Amino acid sequence: MIRLKKRSAIVLAVLAAVAIGACVANGPDLLALMAFRPAAKPEKAAPLVSLTTVQTRDLPVKILAQGHLVPLNQVDVRPQRNGTIRGVHFKEGDDVEAGQLLFTLDAADSTAQFNRSQAQAAQIKAQLDDALRDYGRSKEMLKSRFISSGAVETSASKVEALQAQYRAALADVESVRVQVERTRILAPISGKAGAVKVYRGTLAQEGNANPLVTLVQFDPIGVEFNIPERHLAAVLAARAGNALTVSLQTGDGSEVEGRVTFLNNTVTANTGTISMKASLPNKTQALWPGAFARVTLGAGYSKGAIVLPPQAVIEGPAGHFVYVVTETSEVGIKPVTLLYIQDRQAVVEGLSGGERVVLEGSQNLRAGMKVRVMGKDARRADANGAGGAAS
């Protein structure tokens, strides 16, 4: 063990002597190596960006909204008297016209009552005619003093009583006639029939909660939608100038234009919106009640709107902003208010128009940085620099 330690010490001494000899022999080269330092990294090039110029335009004010199609007229058809259904004169889903016969009820008892009331009225009319003749003869006989004035007054009273009875009989005839007419149930409006809830032989009862059928008007059709209250001033101004329009797209992509028929008198405080209604033609029945609809409300023109591509507007923690580039290619931050996006253009507030803003390459930009502008001038400058280096 002692011999092994002595040998290790001798080996280490030999290695140390060799290292010292190498340092003496190569002293200048070793000092140069120790003095070597890596070359400094070249300064990072300025970011390359593309710019767009903020423009001022007169844009049509288009307010996009979502709503639902609603019928302008809808009627639940119910019987106005009790009776057994004897006939259903249409099919479910048919387009019916106002006044078209839909159902007939059993009218046997009503017809009998009508005939009886007519007979009673005719009987009273005959009695009245006879009383009128007697009253006329009484007046002639009074002139000749064959009868007293009391007899004439009695005859006149009889005429008046029969006249009252006759009017009552005519009222009874009219009342029964109405009951007979109610055995024929007609369509009160033109529209499309829904599901039929009764069949032939069913007892139709007045006051039943379930209607016989529901008729829905399709042409014209309505649409209900809400708009944010910030658009109210523009809508009121457009309505005052008869410039308010409304349109929506059908399922096949075609556009249908209509007219605004209702603007609510209050703003809903919970949602900050105001409800509106519009009427649109629907002859082809491409629009269906209850369906979802994308509505475009036209509210005139916005004079001098500030527009730029939407991708130039950046959303940050404090709101929207854009990077403005000065003539010296220095970047500045400009806060803006994004009003809306229309026709692939962002309409903003906070700019005056004519500014150059960053369109692409905004990653990692900071205020005060220098940038290189992408474009013909930048490419020409790069080409000249490359030629000078080659020469």
Residues of the chain with pLDDT under 70: 1-43, 375-391
Examine the fold and report which residue of 272, 302, 332 is the final residue of a domain before the chain moves on: 302
Instruction: Write the DSSP symbol of residue 81.
Output: S
Query: Domain of 242?
Result: 62-72+220-302
pLDDT of 37 reads 54
The CATH number of whichever domain residue 248 belongs to comes to: 2.40.30.170
In this structure, how many other beta carbons lie within 10 angstroms of the beta carbon of residue 236? Answer: 13
pLDDT at 138: 82
Residue 86 sits in the same domain as residue 157: yes
Residue 128 main-chain phi, psi, to 5 deg: -65, -40
d(CA 3, CA 273): 100
Assigned domain for 30 exists: no
Separation of alpha carbons 317 and 329, rounded Å: 25
pLDDT per position as a tens digit, 22-55? 444 555 554 444 444 555 556 677 889 999 999 9
Tokens of 78: 């119910």
H or E segment at 228? strand 221-228
Domain boundary residue among 246, 269, 302? 302
Number of structural domains (the chain) is: 3
Of the candidates 302, 319, 354, which is a domain's last residue?
A: 302
CATH code assigned at 320: 2.40.420.20
Q: Based on the fold, state whether residues 295 and 311 are members of the same structural domain.
A: no
Closest CA to 258 of 224, 226, 281, 242: 281
Same domain, 201 and 132: yes
- The torsion angle over the Cα atoms of residues 333, 338, 342 and 347, rounded to 10 degrees, is -60
Query: In angstroms, rounded to a whole number, what is the distance separating the alpha carbons of residues 385 and 198?
Result: 91
Q: How do strand 372-373 and strand 48-53 relate by DSSP bridges?
A: parallel
**Does residue 236 lie in a domain region?**
yes
Establish if 17 belongs to a structural domain. no
Judgement on whether residues 88 and 174 belong to the same structural domain of the protein: yes
State whether 81 and 189 are in the same domain.
yes
Q: How far apart are CA 90 and CA 85, in angstroms?
A: 13
Distance CA 164, CA 371 (A): 105
Each residue of 120-133: pLDDT tens digit? 999 999 999 998 98
